[in-house]
Amino acid sequence: MSPNRPPIPTRRGASAAADDVAGFLPGDDGDDEAGEPVDAEGHDAAFAIPFTRIEIETPEGEGRTGPDVIQELVKRLPNQPGVYRMMNAAGDVLYVGKARSLKKRVTAYAQGRFHTNRIGRMVRETATMEFVVTRTETEALLLEANLIKRLRPRFNVLMRDDKSFPYILLTGDHPSPGIFKHRGARSRKGEYFGPFASAGAVDRTINALQRAFLLRTCTDSVFESRTRPCLLFQIKRCSGPCTGEISAMDYAELVDEAKDFLSGRSQRVKAQISEAMQEAAEALDFERAAIYRDRLAALSHVQSHQGINPQSVEEADVFAIHQEGGQNCIQVFFFRTGQNWGNRAYFPKADPALEAGEVLGSFLAQFYDDKPCPRLVLLSHAVEEQALLAEALSTRAGHKVTVSVPQRGEKKDLADHALQNAREALGRRLAETSTQARLLEGFAATFGLDKVPQRIEVYDNSHIMGSNAVGAMIVAGPEGFVKNQYRKFNIRSTAITPGDDFGMMREVMERRFSRLIKDHGAGGGGEAEVSGIPAWPDVILVDGGQGQMSAVRGILSGLGIADKVVAIGVAKGADRDAGRERFFTEGRGSFSLPVRDPVLYFVQRLRDEAHRFAIGSHRARRKKEMAKSPLDEIAGIGPARKRALLLHFGTAKAVSRAAIEDLMRVEGISESVARLVYDHFHDN
């Protein structure tokens, strides 16, 4: 093939695309040591987009970057829709974009005339590019959104919150359906209602629905094992289908009423319950009338906590964006079945030069990458390629999606209400950021730092007499605590004496910074970022005195990074009183801060958060250890055989005392397995 002739793409199906995507996307090599987050509902829809990867070798010449490199790559690009990825000399992804014509879009970069400094910096750093061809521009938009969420390029608009949304699930795989809070992949058979903005909103709604419809919330296994009604039946929060307190037909009617209410037909349900209450009262059955009265009150309680409930909007998501101080806030309101299921604020990372419509458009494509899309999306600002975005969302959702900017009426009121919430949320965030910035400046001045720290890591240990020892690390930055960067370290070394805090801290430091050097190099800085802050810490705070600091400095020196990170020890003061802490840092004697110094309060808050996280991690590990059974240690005894043994004998202790003949009477336990179990508990 001539070097100037573009390759002829071939059309392949989803399976071929899945093979290619492993090469086009990083993080698919099976190495999960770094704990890369995975979206709860997966990316199957995006991976099913047929595409063709274009192999173009980067022009030779060490250190070449910028328009000249891009100009060489353009020569072999086809005039077709697709996605491109720009990378620097170190292989870091700078930008992911889509194009109706790859050749025309990339040619614009090669010309060297840029409208913004952001694009100019991006092009100058580009050392190589990768390309894939899709069938349509719509497919390119969907693939672009998926890649941005996974690769998190520095020059793209990035969502900062990948938490999945909770739903209410009415199960459909049991004769007596239950009502549950559900988060993650919607794989269980049943009907899902939501999304809700928070787990608290789901819990409150389910509690009220229990009182209104008396549906069960117990697991199927508990349901099957009940021989008499539970406490929820006694306090009139369940109708007791497990023990036949209600007939299957009457329970099915309650389930249908719950479905109607959650599907937006709440007025009809309330009218039916009100009519039944009147009939019971006229029949002088006041006890039954009181039950209906309480159910009506519970339904009113649900609706009273939903805020605004539009009359003309059955199903919609409302997005509003506000820009101020170089930051963006996007407020999202969820309306389903005519009811308001809450709202959530997002603060995407974007270049300050980008207009509101540009940020909102990029955000929307990423937002619906792994979430169900309603039939109507209302916006506060017009976005670029609005029709294309609607077509892409329709393709993903499997039904027509309308994207519009309302100009009048109730829909305009909803968008204005969301915009007001976005304005207030960003105002609060700016105030908090300003306070945090002043504290960080004071921190830098107090400890003689060369610059204001952008990432502070705080370490602590937790154990009981050396058992279930856990090391913990929390992270703070210009915007407060960065909780998705918290890490726990289960102490593994058998050479550490139980209770040796120095040894535990030494292991934590070795593991943490060895991994950091592996992932980001030993430069101790650079432009590598995670969650919007540097990957390398500027400062590490250690809960301890001079002994702990000696252990920490020894590890940092051994790794050759002692001059890259400032280590500070925080020792409890006399009588362990807050306010009398002593600080230990390199090249300076130990010292204390004035009792009312804001920096002292700041450090105490950091230390207390590390202590809270360490204790919580320790308790979780201890609870897990306590729940272990001696049967778990027997090779060849899986969950089914363990369950059979426990059902037959009642406890693991009874299993340990059983003879081989008794063990063989258990279903699924052969003579060889019985001898294996017996030998495990009898050394002789």
Higher pLDDT, 170 or 681: 170
Under 8 Å between Cβ of 51 and 142? no
* CA torsion through residues 104, 106, 109, 115, sign: positive
pLDDT higher than threshold 50 for residue 8: no
Q: Quick one: residue 521, left, alpha or beta (phi over 0 = left, psi -120 to 50 = alpha)?
A: left
List, in order, residues 6 or more apart from 176 with CB less than 8 Å away.
216, 223, 241, 242, 248, 251
> Residue 556: which of 519, 589, 522, 581 has the closest Cα?
522
HSE-CB at 586 with a 13 A cutoff on CA atoms is 16
Cβ density class 105-130: b for 16+ within 10 Å, e for less: bbeebbeeebeeebbeebbebbbbbb
Q: For residue 269, what are its two tokens?
A: 């349900």
**DSSP string covering 423-458:** HHHHHHHHHHHHHHHHHHHHHHHHTT-SS--S-EEE
Tell me which DSSP letter residue 580 carries.
-
SS3 328: strand
User: How high is the pLDDT of residue 468?
Assistant: 67
What is the strand order of the sheet 93-99 is part of? Answer: 51-54, 128-134, 82-87, 93-99
Least confident piece of the model among 177-181, 256-260, 517-521, 616-620:
616-620
User: How high is the pLDDT of residue 13?
Assistant: 36
Which pLDDT tens digit goes with each residue over 624-672? 665 566 777 777 788 888 888 888 887 777 888 888 888 888 888 888 8
> Residue 490: which of 469, 506, 505 has the closest Cα?
469
The fraction of the chain above a pLDDT of 70, given in percent, is: 78
Under 8 Å between Cβ of 559 and 517? yes
pLDDT higher than threshold 70 for residue 44: no
Parallel, antiparallel, or unpaired for β 93-99 and 82-87? antiparallel
- Other beta carbons within 10 angstroms of residue 415's beta carbon come to 22
CA-to-CA dists, residue 369 to 29, 88, 394, angstroms: 22, 26, 12
The residue-averaged pLDDT of 417-428 equals 91
Least confident piece of the model among 339-348, 362-371, 433-442, 499-508:
499-508
List, in order, residues 6 or more apart from 114 with CB less than 8 Å away.
120, 123
Position 263: which residue type? S
Which pLDDT tens digit goes with each residue over 104-147? 888 888 876 666 788 888 888 888 888 889 888 988 898 998 89
- Other beta carbons within 10 angstroms of residue 380's beta carbon come to 23
Parallel, antiparallel, or unpaired for β 487-490 and 529-530? unpaired
> Residue 367: which of 157, 86, 199 has the closest Cα?
157
User: How high is the pLDDT of residue 40?
Assistant: 33
CA dihedral 405, 410, 415, 420 (to 10 degrees): 150
Q: For residue 142, what are its two tokens?
A: 């969907």
Query: Residue 402 belongs to what H/E stretch?
Result: strand 402-404
Position 603: which residue type? V
> Residue 327: which of 307, 300, 345 has the closest Cα?
345
Chain center to CA of 425: 21
Q: For residue 483, what are its two tokens?
A: 């909780």
Parallel, antiparallel, or unpaired for β 376-379 and 316-324? parallel
Cis peptide before 195 (omega within 30 of 0): yes
What is the strand order of the sheet 402-404 is part of? Answer: 339-346, 327-336, 316-324, 376-379, 402-404
- Other beta carbons within 10 angstroms of residue 65's beta carbon come to 16
User: How high is the pLDDT of residue 421?
Assistant: 92
Q: For residue 38, what are its two tokens?
A: 């995975």
Q: For residue 489, what are its two tokens?
A: 């370290």
The residues facing 583 across adjacent strands are 570, 591
The residue to which tokens 């009150």 are assigned:
297
Straight-line distance from the first to the last Cα atom of the chain, in angstroms, rounded to the nearest whole number = 76
Tell me which DSSP letter residue 565 carries.
S
> Residue 334: which of 370, 300, 364, 374 has the closest Cα?
374
User: How high is the pLDDT of residue 17?
Assistant: 38
The fraction of the chain above a pLDDT of 90, given in percent, is: 14
Which pLDDT tens digit goes with each residue over 289-313? 776 676 666 666 555 545 556 667 7
Higher pLDDT, 265 or 217: 217
The residue to which tokens 């002088």 are assigned:
284
Under 8 Å between Cβ of 9 and 1? no
pLDDT higher than threshold 90 for residue 381: yes
Q: Which domains does the chain possess?
A: 14-151 (3.40.1440.10), 166-304 (no CATH), 316-428 (3.30.420), 456-625 (3.30.420.340), 630-681 (1.10.150.20)
SS3 617: helix
pLDDT higher than threshold 80 for residue 95: yes
Least confident piece of the model among 256-265, 361-370, 634-643, 673-682:
256-265
Under 8 Å between Cβ of 541 and 449? no
Which pLDDT tens digit goes with each residue over 441-468? 999 999 999 899 999 999 987 766 546 6
Least confident piece of the model among 265-274, 492-501, 523-532, 663-672:
523-532
> Residue 464: which of 619, 576, 611 has the closest Cα?
619
User: How high is the pLDDT of residue 62?
Assistant: 54
Burial of 275 (0-12, 13-18, 19+ CB in 10 A): exposed
Q: What is the mean pLDDT of the chain?
A: 79
Position 195: which residue type? P
* CA torsion through residues 223, 229, 231, 234, sign: positive
List, in order, residues 6 or more apart from 680 with CB less than 8 Å away.
633, 634
Backbone angles phi, psi at 341, to 5 degrees: -100, 25
pLDDT higher than threshold 70 for residue 560: yes
Flag whether the pTM goes above 0.85.
Answer: no
User: How high is the pLDDT of residue 302?
Assistant: 57
CA-to-CA dists, residue 440 to 76, 456, 479, 574, angstroms: 50, 10, 10, 27
